[in-house]
Amino acid sequence: MKFLIVVQDLRVMGTSEGIVSRSFLAKLRIAYPQAIIDVVYLKHHPSDDRLDLLPVDSIETYVLDLKIPFFTKWINKIYWRLFHISLNRKYIHKMYASYLSKIDYQKYDHIFIRSSGLDHEIIIGAKDVPILKSAIINFHDPYPIFWYAGNEMPISNLEIFKLKEMYEVVKQAKSCMSPASLLSGDMQHLYGSKKKFHVLPHQYDNSVFDFSTTAGILKKDKKISISYHGAIQFGRNIDVLLDAYAELVETNSSYRENTEFVLRLRGFDNKRLSEKYSKITNIVILDNLNFPDSSKVQAEQADVLIILENGPIYSNILVGKAPFLASINKPILCIAPERSEIRRLITDEQYIASCTDQQEIKQKLENLIVNRMNSDKAVYPFGDYFSDENFKKMLDKILTKSS
C-alpha cells in the first residue's frame, strides 16, 4: 500500500496542527508498518522541523514564496470591492496549485491533504487541480472563520465568497474528514455534501519529538499543581475557572498552602489576567513555552490538567491538545459549553464542568484536587479513544468508504 501525505505544517512548536500532523504520520506507520509513506511538505518559511524523526519513506520539502507582488496588491484594493474576489488570496492559492499540479499522484493508493490554520490555503489551492479528485482532505478547523464557534467577526462579502470557493473544493474532493464528529456533521450540512464527512481525531505520539534539549523545568512550589497551557480565544472562558479557584484558596487554608494554578498563555490576556489576580499568589501566569518544554512540564509537574473549549454555548472542534493530555493519564477538567465535542468523548462527569457555571467548576475542581492529594494513580478520562487500535479502526473505515 502506498500513501501520499501533503502537509502544510510539520513544525515541532508553535501550532497544534504541526503536532498532530507529525503524530498522524507516526500513527500511520504503526497502523501500516509495511506501507510506503511519502510526504510533500509545502511550508511558508524556512524552519528546522526535525523531519529526521518522522517514520516515513521520503519527504519532499518546498518553501513557498508567498510574498504578493506590489502590482497585485495595488489592483486588489479595487478589485475585491467590485467583485468580492481577493486577488491576494488567489495569488497564494495559485502558488500552492503550482506545486500540487506537479505531484505524480497516480502512483498512490491513498492521498491525504491536511490543512493548517484558519485560511486552509493548501486545500483551496487544490481546487481544479487533478490531485484533488483522488485526495481525502482534512479540515483541522471549520471554514470560513465566521462559522467558527466563539468567533465574533462580522460576515463580509469576501467571507461569503470563501464559502462558495470551499463548496467547489468539497464537491471535487474524493472524500473529506475532520477530527470531530460535531464538526464533520456541521460541515457536511453546511456544504450540502452528498459524500460523508468522516471523523479521524487528532493524534499524539511522542516518538516524533525531541525532548532531549528541553530547558530546565520550573519546579512546582506546592503539592498540587493545576495547569493550563494554551491560548484564550474563540469564547474560551478562563476567568470563570480562575474565579472558582480563587474562591477555593480564599476560603480554605489547606488549598492555599498546598495548591497552585500555573498558566502558560499564548495571546494578549497575560497582562489583563496578571493584574486581575495579582493579589492571589497561588495563581501564577507565565508566557507560553515551546511544545517540548510545555509537554514536559505538564507530564512531570502538573497534577490536574485543564482543557478550555470554545464557547459559550457550542464547540464543534476537538482541541489539538486533547490527545497529548490523554496520553499522560492524569485528571483533566474540561470547561465546556452545553454542546461540545469533548462532552461526547469524556463520559465521566467528574472531568467536565459547564463554562457558565462557576459553582459547578468550583465543586469539580475541588473534588479533583482532593482526589489527587490522596492518590496519584493513573486515570483515563478519554478511555481508549486516542489509542493506536482505535486510530487504525477509524482510518480503515475511512479508506474503505472512500475507495
- 50 has a pLDDT exceeding 70: yes
pLDDT tens per residue, range 172-191: 999 999 999 999 999 999 99
Question: What percent of the chain shows pLDDT beyond 90?
Answer: 75
Residue 386's pLDDT is what? 97
Spatial CA neighbour of 367 closest among 262, 219, 224: 224
Residue 47's pLDDT is what? 87
CB 126, CB 8: distance < 8 Å? no
Residue 144's pLDDT is what? 85
Cα(223)–Cα(221) distance, integer angstroms: 7
What is the identity of the amino acid at 358? Q
* pLDDT band of 214, cuts 50, 70, 90: low
The residues, any chain, with a CB within 8 Å of residue 296's CB and separated by 6 or more, are 211, 214, 217
pLDDT tens per residue, range 82-93: 887 889 999 999
pLDDT tens per residue, range 378-398: 999 999 999 999 999 999 999
Is the model more confident about 169 or about 311?
169
- 109 has a pLDDT exceeding 80: yes
The residues, any chain, with a CB within 8 Å of residue 60's CB and separated by 6 or more, are 38, 39, 40, 41
Beta-bridge partner residues of 305: 227, 332
Cell match 489509542: residue?
387
Question: What percent of the chain shows pLDDT beyond 70?
Answer: 99
pLDDT tens per residue, range 323-370: 999 999 999 999 999 999 999 999 899 999 999 999 999 999 999 999
Cell numbers at 254, concatenated: 489547606
- 148 has a pLDDT exceeding 90: no
CB 56, CB 64: distance < 8 Å? no
The SS3 call for residue 307 is strand
- 294 has a pLDDT exceeding 70: yes
CB 149, CB 35: distance < 8 Å? no
Residue 213's pLDDT is what? 72
Weakest-pLDDT range from 10-19, 29-38, 336-345, 361-370: 10-19
CA distances (Å), 367 to each of 67, 353, 373, in order? 53, 12, 10
Other Cβ atoms closer than 10 A to 109: 13
* pLDDT band of 217, cuts 50, 70, 90: low
Residue 215's pLDDT is what? 64
* pLDDT band of 14, cuts 50, 70, 90: low
CB 338, CB 177: distance < 8 Å? no
* The length of the chain, given as a count of residues: 403
Q: Is the peptide bond before 312 cis (omega within 30 degrees of 0)?
A: yes
Write down the pTM of the prediction. 0.94
CB 386, CB 323: distance < 8 Å? yes
Q: What is the mean pLDDT of residues 256-281?
A: 91
The SS3 call for residue 305 is strand
Cα(186)–Cα(133) distance, integer angstroms: 22
pLDDT tens per residue, range 57-76: 999 999 999 999 999 999 99
Cα(135)–Cα(130) distance, integer angstroms: 9
The average confidence (pLDDT) of the chain is 92
pLDDT tens per residue, range 310-321: 988 899 999 999
Residue 79's pLDDT is what? 87
- 15 has a pLDDT exceeding 80: no
CA distances (Å), 32 to each of 29, 55, 107, 388, 391, in order? 5, 11, 18, 11, 11
- 197 has a pLDDT exceeding 70: yes
Residue 84's pLDDT is what? 76
CB 62, CB 99: distance < 8 Å? yes
Number of C-alpha atoms within 13 angstroms, CB side, residue 125? 28
The SS3 call for residue 366 is helix
Quick one: CA dihedral 129, 188, 159, 148, positive or negative?
negative
